[in-house]
Homo-oligomer: A and B are copies of this chain.
């Protein structure tokens, strides 16, 4: 994640999307007194935000997720369609896996949980602008759980080392013959392992096996 100061506007054009009026105004006040960015608009609804995104160049979107007329991820998606270099920072009370993952997938690079200790908004914005990802620790846990240690908690039957090797080979598109040569075994033995893999993964063919194994964290792509 290179940062090129020449293409990076030193003063960020900020769009704020937050339906709670007191909070929105609080954020707006904080931003008003901050030289690092300019608040383009403060919106209370998704509709307003989508309209505003069409009218103004926005570098940074600060957004809530649960909105009266839709979901903040829509604003994130629209932002990144219009300007792939723009960043989105989520500020939400929602912390369930699905919501968090959807926001990250939509393109959010930061995610602050709206709770407890007052949010260090400007600090987080600076982090984002510097190419880092400020994320509340509860939210980070979702990502860690999602990415991490699936090898320790395999969902179904475990694959033997040999099977894992072969599975990796399959994922890379090797044919039976190539796998046999690669592993220095008979081209007759390869399908045996593969059949066992299919049984364990409840798959019926190569691509489904790759899909299943990847979903279960047995291989990393």
Chain A positions near chain B (C-beta within 8 angstroms):
1, 80-81, 84, 101, 104-110, 127, 131-138, 140-141, 143-153, 170-173, 175, 203-211, 214-215, 220-221
Contacts and interface: CB of A to CB of B under 8 A. Distances in A.
- Count copies of this chain in the complex: 2
B146 A135 contact: no
A152 B140 CA distance: 22
**Top 10 closest A-B pairs, CB basis?**
A173-B208, A132-B137, A107-B149, A206-B207, A133-B140, A133-B141, A104-B148, A171-B211, A135-B140, A214-B221
A214 B136 CA distance: 27
A149 B211 contact: no
Given A80-B149, A145-B1, A208 B171 contact: yes
Contact of A134 (B140, B146, B203, B208): B140
Contact of A137 (B104, B134, B141, B171): B134
Nearest to A216: B221
Given A207-B170, A211-B171, A214-B214, A107 B152 contact: yes
A143 B137 contact: no
A144 B143 contact: yes
